[in-house]
Structures are given as C-alpha cells and as structure tokens.
Amino acid sequence: MSEPRPLLSVRGLTKVFEARSGMPGRRGTHVRAVDDVSFDIAPGETLGIVGESGSGKSTTAYCVLRLVEPTSGRVEFDGTDITALGGGDLRKARRQMQIVFQDPYSSLDPRMRVRTVVSEPLRVHGIGDRASRRRRVDELLELVGLSPSAADRFPHEFSGGQRQRVGIARALALEPKLVVCDEPVSALDVSVQAQILNLLKDLQDELDLTYLFISHDLAVIRTVSDRIAVMRHGKVVETARADALFASPGHEYTQELLSAIPVPDPREMNRRRDAKLEARR
Amino acid sequence: MALLEVRDLRTSFSTRRGVVRAVDGVSFEVEQGRTLGIVGESGCGKSVTALSLMRLLPPSASIEGGTVTFDGRDLATLGRRDLESLRGSAIGMVFQDPMTSLNPANSIGAQIVETIRRHEPVGRKDADRRARELLEEVQIPRAAERLRDYPHQFSGGMRQRVMIAIAIACRPKLLIADEPTTALDVTVQDQILGLLDELRRSHEMAMVLITHDMGVIAGVAHDVIVMYAGQVVEQAPTLELFDRAEHPYTEALLRALPRIDAADARHGRLEAIAGRPPELIDPLPGCRFAPRCAYASLDACATTPQALRVIRPGHLVRTSHPASERPA
C-alpha cells in the first residue's frame, strides 16, 4: 500500500531562544526549546504531541505555523516548504493552517462582538462582502453548536466551553486543511471538555480536517490521536500509533508518564502504590 | 466523635446580581488518619467549603449558618485570635499555587522558622534545626543549604514541598489541601500526592483533599464527597463510589472522562454532559442537576426538594433516581 503524501512534513525543526541574563557583564544562555524535531501528518490524520511543561510541544506548534520563526529545519505543507515563504505567499499558506488556543478568552479581543471575532480572518484575507461574511458567520456558529444570536454578544458573556466554540468557529472561517489545537480543553471542566472533544472529532469527519493536537494530558491525547509523539526537553523521544503507545510504551520517559497519570480506578491506583512501596524495599 | 465535623455549612457571596449560595447545606465528617476527597467541577463550592472551615473567605463572602467542630471545639464561635493560632498549628493548609502563599522576599528557612515560632515557644536554634528536618521530611535534597534559598529559586514542585513543610511544621492533626497538584506536571503531581499520603500516615493526620480530578481521588482518598451546585450530591467510601456510583451526575462525570485505558478511543465519542451547571443566585427548589439529568422527570425533580439519604451503609445520595433504584 502506498502512503499518501503527508499534508504536513516537519524535518529537523529546531528553535533556539537566546535568553539574556539581564545582568550586565553576564552572557545570556541558549535554550534549545525545540531540538531536531521531525514528523509527518497524513491528510485527515490527528497527530498528538504530548509532553510536560517546557517540553517544547507548543513552541513546535508555533514554529509549524511560523508564529515563531524556527532557527532551522523544514516545514513542508502540502508539498511547499513554508519556512522559505515570505509576504503574500506566507499569507496564502496560512489560510490553510489555523490554530485553536487554550484560553479562548485571552485570545479574543474582549471589545469585539462574536461576529467580528469570527469574521475577522475573512476580512483580513479580503474574502466576500459584508452580506456573505454575515451568512458565513451564521453558518460557522451553527457548525460549532452555537445559535446565530451568539453573534451579537461579547466573549465575556459566554462560559469557557462556549468561548472555545467561538475560537473554533474563527479557526474554521478560512476553511483550513490543518488545524493546530494547542491545549484546547485544558482550561475546561470535564463535562465541557467532553463536549469540545466530541465537537472537534465531528468537525474533523465532516470537514476532512487534519489536526496537530498539543496537550499535556495523556488521556485527552489518546481520545483524539491516530498517532502520538512524546516530547521531552525539546526532543521527540517516541512516536507511535496511539493504541500501541499505551499498550507498550517504548521509551522509559513514556512509561514514566503513563505510570504517573492518575486514573479514575482506585484498584489500579492501589496496585501502583503497592508496587512503589515494594520497589523501595 | 470525628476529628472534624461539618454540619449544614452555608456560605454566600453578595454580588451585584444577587446573593450567590456557593455552599448550601454541606455536612461531612473526617476521622483521624483518614483522607476525605471533595470532588466537583468549577463553581461547585468545593474550595469555598475548604475556605469556610478556616474562615479564610474574601470580604464579599459570609458564612450564614452551620457548625464546624474540630477536635471538640466549635470553630464558628472561636475568636479571631484563637482561630489564627489554630491555623498553621493544629490545622495545616496547602493551596494550589505555592508562589502566592510564600513571601518572595524571605528565605525559605526564615518562613518555616517564623511559622514554628509563631505557634510554639522554641528558641531560634531549635527552630532552625526543625526547619532543616522538615525540608528533609518533604524530601528536598540538600536541605541544610536550601534553607537559605528564596522561593523563586525553587521549581514548582519543590515550592509545593516547601508549602507542605510549613503546613506540617507544627504537627497538625488536620491537613486541608486545596487542588495541591493542579498546577504541576503529572510526574511531579505523582510525587507530591505520594508525599502527602506518606505524611498523612506518619503523622496520623486527617486530610481533606479538594480536587477536580477523579484520578487524584482514586489515588489518595478513603472517602469521597461529590459536590454539584453548592451541595453534596453523593458521598461514599472511594471504592464504593467508583464501583457503584448512584447519582446521575457522578455517573455522567465518570463516563465523560477520557481514559488512558480505553482501547481505540480515537473512534469513539465521549459521553458529554449536555448544558452546564446552574447559576447559584436563584437555584431550583428541587434537584439542581435535573435540567441536565438523563433520568429526571423534569417537573417533579426540579420542584421537589431532594434530601441527602442513605442508600447503603456509608453511601449517601441526593436524587430521586439513584442507579440502584432505576428500572432495568
């Protein structure tokens, strides 16, 4: 079976931040936030990137979108190396790649009504006229499970889950092929989290979306991902199909993560505690 | 008599839009050496319950009723000074964000020593020695050196260990931990939860652990209360709760969780709970979960007040439709 051409292909992606020391006479240090990261995502696939804070998972996502300029490496989107693009070509490429942030409230302008928030990408890219943009916003709101009346309200009038729906509607406005989801449910309560995860899955099926899904939460990552990359200290330590990763984690760090995540099963938690006590003897 | 007994606790906030009944008739008890987990989603009243126990509420909040009996003393009638001397000595507290609870301008050692000397008549030297022992007890490497360090020189996990050291400095009988690991990475969380459990055992403390995470509950709590919209909706020993959840909300909450042990989770859907928790300004007279409940007969459930009742020994539930009474 021949593999389809990946929609996104990342090779040797590296981002070095220069941290100034802030003290005169002292040299700054280099932080390799993303260190030689490579992966592919096939059309319609979800690649999950999981890692703890400082693992470089979000910086990787920002480099893919060039919201952060990578230091080196290639990011090929649909066959085009976007690290080499500038100006108009980059803008065109970006229409195909959108992002959903963790906290939709801080990523939304509080003075803008939902209609303005959702239609902004259309205006920025000069798509349609007022009337057609209006129709498109209504359509998008319906798509994410909000009523059209939401358009005339302000973000602060919504609950966290509804705000995330607004964030998703905005990300979908330009009909992107790739959506980067950066901790999209981390700020949400469990019951709402499930609604948003289901919505993201439904939208993927309906619109043929490809996801790069970033999360610190292994259970969330498992629910959405076809394949999972585990990151630590800027490096991908392991990439595997989701079920395989959980059934037989290859890397020691993946094992450590899996045995640290609390599961809603008191017997399993007791087993782990006994195993730990045993190991210490 | 239990170490901590809370009866019909009621705490309200006055807001511009009206009175918010954040905690509305909460009762529970905790025995010495046991851990009670309080679980629920944002706004369910779990943290306000914890803060009410210690009367650490913001000015807009007031305790409207109920009793809190700790070690035979009624905390509600205790004077400010007595209450303050109880906080940090017989009752220790750990919060989510250690950075806001530590003084950035003082060394860790000074802050531990200050806590000890505020509550006990010990000399400087003895207090210093105890501070070092405490850092060792919370497993901070190179304890003697680290006493001189300032909060910003510690990682998040290490800062939480320092907070725990301060909380247990005066050998409390009760430790109240409010989302103590929510801001931490999973591997660090695992260590901190292990440490708290170990200290609970070695100090024979009771612990009240507030969390939104059912996994954390499964790992450390002996007993659990599930809160929804300011009320306890279910209470049971931990194993019983996970094996035989009775309240439709508890069941729905457990089913809504993404699981790491779910095979082919990718192609399934989570069982989300439709809607969201009610406003607590003018709550329904009946079951507050009724509008989101799969079993409710809306009119009857939403209008008939529901009492917390015993469904099996040690297992209490507040619903007309507990799992074991539903037609199959």
Tell if the CB–CB gap between B272 and A194 is shorter than 8 Å: yes
Q: Which residues pair with A99 in a beta bridge?
A: A180
Mean pLDDT over residues A202-220, rounded?
97
Please tell me whether residue A57 adopts helix, strand or coil conformation.
helix
Torsion angles phi and psi, residue B292, rounded to 5? -110, 0
Q: What is the pLDDT of residue A126?
A: 92
Is pLDDT at B198 greater than 60 in this prediction?
yes
What are the tens digits of pLDDT across the range A216-261? 999 999 999 999 999 999 999 999 999 999 999 999 999 999 999 9
Q: Which residues pair with A77 in a beta bridge?
A: A8, A80
Mean pLDDT over residues A118-125, rounded?
94
Q: What is the ipTM of this complex?
A: 0.90
- Give the separation between CA A188 and CA A178, rounded to whole angstroms: 23
- Give the separation between CA B16 and CA B14, rounded to whole angstroms: 7
Contacts of A87 (CB under 8 A, 6+ apart): none
The token pair at A251 is: 């890397």
Return the axis-axis angle of helices A130-143 and A114-124, rounded to nearest 10°.
120
Average pLDDT, chain A: 92
Q: Report how far Cα A118 is from the mean position of its chain's Cα atoms.
A: 19
Q: What is the pLDDT of residue B64?
A: 94
Return the axis-axis angle of helices B156-167 and B108-119, rounded to nearest 10°.
20
Q: What is the pLDDT of residue A105?
A: 67
Mean pLDDT over residues B83-108, rounded?
89
Q: What is the pLDDT of residue A4?
A: 75
Mean pLDDT over residues B120-132, rounded?
94
Which pLDDT band holds residue B58 (cuts at 50, 70, 90)? Answer: very high
> What is the enclosing helix (H) or strand (E) of B198?
helix B186-202
Minimal CA–CA distance to B20: which of B48, B51, B55? B48
Residue in B266, B267, B276, B288 to test binding to A, most A beta-carbons within 10 Å? B266
Mean pLDDT over residues B20-25, rounded?
96
Least confident of A105-109, B22-26, B198-202: A105-109
Mean pLDDT over residues B310-317, rounded?
97
Please measure the distance between the N-terminal and C-terminal CA atoms of chain B and give it in whole angstroms: 40
- Give the separation between CA B111 and CA B14, rounded to whole angstroms: 35
Q: Which among B193, B238, B276 has CB closest to A159? A: B276
Tell if the CB–CB gap between A262 and B258 is shorter than 8 Å: no
Is pLDDT at A1 greater than 70 in this prediction?
no
HEC profile of chain B: CCCEEEEEEEEEEEECCEEEEEEEEEEEEECCCCEEEEECCCCCCHHHHHHHHCCCCCCCEEEEEEEEEECCEEHHHCCHHHHHHHECCCEEEECCCHHHHCCCCCCHHHHHHHHHHHHCCCCHHHHHHHHHHHHHHCCCCCHHHHCCCCHHHCCHHHHHHHHHHHHCCCCCCEEEEECCCCCCCHHHHHHHHHHHHHHHHHCCCEEEEEECCHHHHHHHCCEEEEEECCEEEEEEEHHHHHHCCCCHHHHHHHHHCCCCCCCCHHHCCCCCCCCCCCCCCCCCCCCCCHHHCCCCCHHHHHHCCCCCEEEECCEEECCCCCHHHCCC
B285 Cβ under 8 Å from any chain A Cβ: no
Mean pLDDT over residues A123-147, rounded?
95
- Among chain B residues, the shortest Cα distance to A254 is held by B187
For chain B, the farthest-separated pair of C-alpha atoms sits apart, in whole angstroms, at 68
Amino acid at B29: E
Instruction: Give the closest-approach CA distance of A190 to chain B in angstroms.
Output: 6
Q: What is the pLDDT of residue A204?
A: 97
Q: What is the pLDDT of residue A28?
A: 67
Indicate the DSSP class of residue B153.
G
Q: Which of residues 145-204 of B touch A (CB under 8 A)?
A: 185-187, 189-190, 193-194, 197
Mean pLDDT over residues A14-34, rounded?
79
Q: Which of residues 252-271 of B touch A (CB under 8 A)?
A: 252-254, 256-266, 268-271
Mean pLDDT over residues B92-121, rounded?
91
Residues of chain B above pLDDT 90, percent: 82
Least confident of A19-23, B147-151, B243-247: A19-23
Q: What is the pLDDT of residue A225?
A: 97
The token pair at A23 is: 């003290």
> CA dist A192 to A163, B36, B245, B256, B318, Å?
11, 26, 20, 9, 23
Please tell me whether residue A67 adopts helix, strand or coil conformation.
coil
Instruction: Give the closest-approach CA distance of B238 to chain A in angstroms.
Output: 7
Mean pLDDT over residues B271-286, rounded?
88
Q: Which among B187, B254, B269 has CB closest to A264? A: B254
* Nearest-10 Cα torsion for A13, A217, B187, A16: 20
Contacts of B133 (CB under 8 A, 6+ apart): B143
pTM score above 0.90? yes
Is pLDDT at A21 greater than 70 in this prediction?
no
Tell if the CB–CB gap between A191 and B276 is shorter than 8 Å: yes
Least confident of A157-166, A237-246, B51-60, B291-300: B291-300
